[in-house]
Chains A and B, each alone.
Chain A
């Protein structure tokens, strides 16, 4: 999986959470302008323990605990970034994005454009998304579409440790604001090989996680794991599914998506955000528009139901795409009953 050929001999297995911590530590060591702000990110080590140990390693001036005031933290970061710092803000949940929208949408996203590049906002906003903890409607949402809608913001959504590390390092070095969204259920459950040597992954390049011939599954964040499991099941039934992970939903690597769909002729787009006006709608529309003559079936979308996320675990799970729904949807694209 590592793209730098020679480093494959020097890989170690780690969780997604560990890969992110490594990226943060490496970038803080490399560049003294990089610092972290957020609620409980210091001595407690972050709500999901991702920044654990960084306070001890880099000190209180570079790993700062803040009051519970999202608009304020993000505003501070925008200002610090404009003065040459490279702040990384941790926001706990995307559910809290609305509190910081003014700073993100009207300030961070606009400065570069409105000052003709004289002021830049090289900040990273990290937050978690996704269901799986029974944390109810205000702590389980996947609101990435809110920021992906805004020109001037980049939105990264890694699905495995290797991608998470390489993409986060690139995000920190990017001269524009990047929203980096991590699925809270992947921190400790998704493990994978990560190169020991330093590497960067460019923002805006999709990755084919599994090659196939019959149908393209476009999946984002944790849904990549769901798609891979579904592809395995489908293979047993004689359907060869290709799994494409955009990795960043803005900028979106249209070329890789379209190339895959032009090959397979069928596409199912899977995301944990809500269905209506969602990321799946955007991607499906691009496919329908630009690969129309290559489609052998309508583009299908699987996303969270258009309801607030329920708290009861059974109901919560029922609102989210799962392997069975992916398999069923794919089979519906083929006339013969598989």
Chain B
């Protein structure tokens, strides 16, 4: 039996992974547990190990390409299978070549009976277009590997199997893959067909009305028989702000520049998906408070030199805030919870550990490394770990474990001169604290206006699992710990 190599699921939110590079070439012997390729997941790179002793099969996904989790990457042929393939090749080579035809027959078979390397483009140097890539994948054994049902459906729907992405065991194209391809083609065609309405497809009344109301008929979608634009459509268009259904008419004098769309990759794409998901599914509400920061600043200045001498890490305001959040979370276990995303109907997950994540901005996007069991760490330890995590984040060297298990997130944009902001929840967490800059601001004290350093805290909360009063008590405690940080020693 060949052992398949799949794109693994390495985190709850991971939906696909990208092949970074292959460490072994097709046909090379591999040992069980030996790294075969490197993939990039949500936020980290991971090496995938060989599932068995044997020979690496054809590479089905080129370096640089992404596949959904569970997608086939390659397989390992065990000694047994190599033997039978070898015998097959020797026994009836002529017939075998004739039967396979196509690409494989043209190349010379390698000693293992694998397709000749010429069929598979060298892994890293050649980046194929998507279509070419698929074609190479599908023809890797000399013929398209598809189930009878998939072939039948392909014939019915007029789909070229070579252009279908396989999801079945061993890279087999199955029925669902063909239907998926057909759906995509249909969608593309429909989009292409949304052209301006032909002049005859407008009722005379609608045409007159459009003129009166100043409605551009090219932008109106017809709902009458055969898609004819009727009176209602024009009236609707006149009142509702319209999104153009067709490309804007091209003026002969100045061709409009076509905006280029950059596909999102890697972290950027994950951020896009997660934030859109969070903001559209988690009902957010926000609590804010202004706190005096003089004691906080004094505390940092007092400890800076000592901690730097001991740990070589420079203590930051953020470090103390991490400690404050961890302390408050330990006191409010009912805030240290998450929405159970995958449970049918949802649910509440109570975390046993206080793991505080810190939002770190990178050129490529945003990552949130996690300080595990932060409530048990000293300020020195927090400073050391935070500086290690942020340095590795910027170098792209975070491990998956650094990013997992967060139960709360802190996001500090104070250093960018932001006074205050509202953060989007980091799913499935139920709260995130947004910190603005520390600035001298006028405050009322004992009936007089005085100038003191203050900062704004904004807590975003998932209303499915937390209510306002509880969030407020939590924020109150955070504010208290910031204003009187010696309470951390309580």
Residues of chain A whose beta carbon lies under 8 Å from any beta carbon of chain B:
265, 292-297, 332-337
**Which of B149, B152, B168 contacts A335, CB < 8 Å?**
B168
Complex A-B, nearest 4 residue pairs according to Cβ-Cβ distance, in ascending order: A336-B70, A293-B152, A296-B149, A335-B168
Q: Is the CB of B169 within 8 A of A265?
A: no
Contacts of A332 in B (CB 8 A): 169
- In B42-70, which residues have CB < 8 Å from any A CB? 69-70
Cβ–Cβ < 8 Å partners of B174 in chain A: 265, 296-297, 335
Is B191 an interface residue, CB under 8 A from the partner?
A: no
Q: Across the interface, which residues of A come within 8 angstroms of B169, CB to CB?
A: 297, 332-335
Are B167 and A294 in contact, with the CB atoms below 8 A? no
Interface residue B151 (Cβ < 8 Å from any Cβ of A): yes
A335 near B150 with CB under 8 A, answer: no
Within 8 Å CB of A293, what residues of B? Answer: 148-149, 151-152
In angstroms, Cα B172 to Cα A332, docked, is 12
Distance from A300 Cβ to chain B, minimum over Cβ atoms (Å): 11
CA distance A332 to B168 in the complex (A): 9
Known contacts A337-B6, A337-B70; decide if A297 and B147 are in contact (CB<8 Å).
yes
Asked if B270 is at the interface of the complex by the 8 Å CB criterion, the answer is no
A295/B149 in contact, CB under 8 A: yes
| Residue from A294, A333, A334 in contact with B149 in the complex, judged by beta carbons closer than 8 Å | A294
Chain B, residues 166-189, CB within 8 Å of chain A (1/0): the string is 111100101110000000000000
| Contact present for A296 and B175 (CB under 8 Å) | yes
Q: Pick the contact of B172 from A292, A294, A335, A337 — CB < 8 Å?
A: A335
Q: Residues of B contacting A294 with CB < 8 Å?
A: 148-149, 152
Q: How far is the CA of A33 from the CA of B71 in the complex (A)?
A: 65
Q: Which of B135-172 contact A (CB under 8 A)?
A: 147-152, 166-169, 172
B338 at the interface (CB under 8 A from A): no
Give B69-123 interface residues, CB cut-off 8 Å to A: 69-72
Instruction: Report A-chain residues with C-beta under 8 Å of the C-beta of B172.
Output: 297, 335
Q: What are 5 pairs between A and B in contact, CB < 8 Å?
A: A293-B148, A294-B149, A297-B172, A332-B169, A335-B169
Q: Let me know if A335 and B148 touch, CB within 8 A.
A: no
- Number of inter-chain CB pairs below 8 Å: 47
Q: CB distance B6 to A296 under 8 Å?
A: no
B151:A296 contact, CB within 8 angstroms: no
Are B147 and A295 touching (Cβ within 8 A)?
Answer: yes
Judging by beta carbons under 8 Å apart, are B70 and A296 in contact? Answer: no
CB distance from B403 to the nearest CB of A (A): 22
A72 CB to closest chain B CB (Å) equals 50
Alpha-carbon distance between A336 and B165 when the two chains are bound, in angstroms: 13
What residues of chain B lie closer than 8 Å to A297, measured between beta carbons? Answer: 147, 168-169, 172, 174
Inter-chain contacts of B70 with A (CB < 8 A):
335-337
A335 near B147 (CB under 8 angstroms)? no
Contacts of B152 in A (CB 8 A): 293-294
Name B1-52 residues within 8 Å CB distance of A. 6, 9
How far apart sit A43 and B303, CA to CA, in the bound complex (Å)?
A: 96
C-alpha spacing A296/B6, complex, angstroms = 20
Whether A336 and B149, one on each chain, are in contact in the complex, defined by CB atoms closer than 8 angstroms, is no
Interface size on B, residues (CB 8 A): 20
Residues of B within 8 A of A337 (CB): 6, 9, 70
A259 to chain B, nearest CB (A): 15
A321 CB to closest chain B CB, in angstroms?
19
Shortest Cβ distance from A334 into chain B, in angstroms? 7
Q: Which of A295, A334, A336 contacts B148 (CB 8 A)?
A: A295
A238 CB to nearest chain B CB (Å):
12
Q: Which residue of A lies closest to B170 (CB)?
A: A335
User: Contacts of A296 on B, CB cut-off 8 Å?
Assistant: 147-150, 168, 174-176
- From A298, which residue of chain B is reached at the shortest CB distance? B147
For residue A333, which residue of chain B has the nearest CB?
B169
Q: Which chain B residues border A336 with CB–CB below 8 Å?
A: 69-70, 167
How far is A337 from B147 in the complex, measured between Cα atoms in Å?
18
In the bound assembly, the distance between CA atoms of A265 and B9 in angstroms comes to 27
B164–chain A nearest beta-carbon distance, Å: 13
Q: Shortest Cβ distance from B144 into chain A, in angstroms?
A: 15
What 0/1 pattern do residues 250 to 286 of B give for CB contact below 8 A with A? 0000000000000000000000000000000000000
B176 cross-chain contacts in A, Cβ below 8 A? 296
- Which residues of B are found within 8 Å of A265, using beta-carbon distances? 147, 149, 174-175
Q: Which residues of A contact B149 (CB under 8 A)?
A: 265, 293-296
Extra contacts, 20 of them, besides A333-B169, A335-B166 (Cβ < 8 A), are: A265-B175, A293-B149, A293-B152, A294-B148, A295-B148, A295-B149, A296-B147, A296-B148, A296-B149, A296-B150, A296-B168, A297-B147, A297-B169, A297-B172, A297-B174, A335-B70, A335-B172, A335-B174, A336-B69, A337-B6
Nearest A-chain residue to B168, judged by Cβ: A335
Would you call A292 and B148 a contact (CB within 8 A)? yes
Q: Chain B's nearest CB lies how many Å from the CB of A285?
A: 15
* Shortest Cβ gap from B287 to chain A (Å): 39
Question: Within the assembled complex, what's the spacing in Å between the Cα atoms of A16 and B70?
Answer: 43
CA distance A253 to B151 in the complex (A): 27
Q: How far is the CA of A336 from the CA of B150 in the complex (A)?
A: 17
Bound Cα distance A334, B174 (Å): 9
B74 nearest CB across to chain A (Å)? 14
A335–B68 alpha-carbon span in the complex (Å)? 12
* Chain B residues with CB below 8 A from A335, complex form: 70-72, 166-169, 172, 174
B421 to chain A, nearest CB (A): 40
B75 to chain A minimum Cβ distance, whole angstroms, is 12
Inter-chain CA distance A249–B69, complex, in Å, is 41
Q: What is the chain B residue whose CB lies nearest that of A265?
A: B149
Complex alpha-carbon distance, A211 and B229, angstroms: 46
With both beta carbons as reference points, the residue of chain B lying nearest to A293 in the complex is identified as: B152
| Distance A335 CA – B177 CA, assembled complex (angstroms) | 11
Bound complex: CA A292 to CA B71 (Å): 25
Chain B contacts for A292, CB-based, 8 A: 148
Set of chain B residues within 8 Å of A295, measured between Cβ atoms:
147-149
- Chain A residue nearest to B4 in the complex (CB): A335
Closest A residue to B152 by beta carbon equals: A293
- Distance in angstroms from B43 CB to nearest chain A CB is 22
Complex Cα distance, B175 from A333, in Å, reads 13
Within 8 A of A (CB), among B193-238: none
Q: Which residues of A contact B9 (CB under 8 A)?
A: 337
Q: Could you say which residues of chain B place their CB within 8 Å of the CB of A334?
A: 168-169
Residues of chain A within 8 A (CB-CB) of B147 are: 265, 295-297
Residue of A nearest to B8 (CB): A337
Closest Cβ of chain A: how far from B154's Cβ, in Å?
Answer: 11
B202 shortest CB reach to chain A, Å = 45
User: How near does chain B come to A323, taking the closest CB pair, in angstroms?
Assistant: 21
Shortest A337–chain B CB gap in Å is 5
Query: A294 — nearest CB in chain B belongs to which residue?
Result: B149
Which one of A293, A294, A297, A336 has the highest number of Cβ atoms from chain B below 10 Å of its Cβ?
A: A336
**Most chain A CB within a 10 A radius of its CB, from B71, B72, B148:** B148
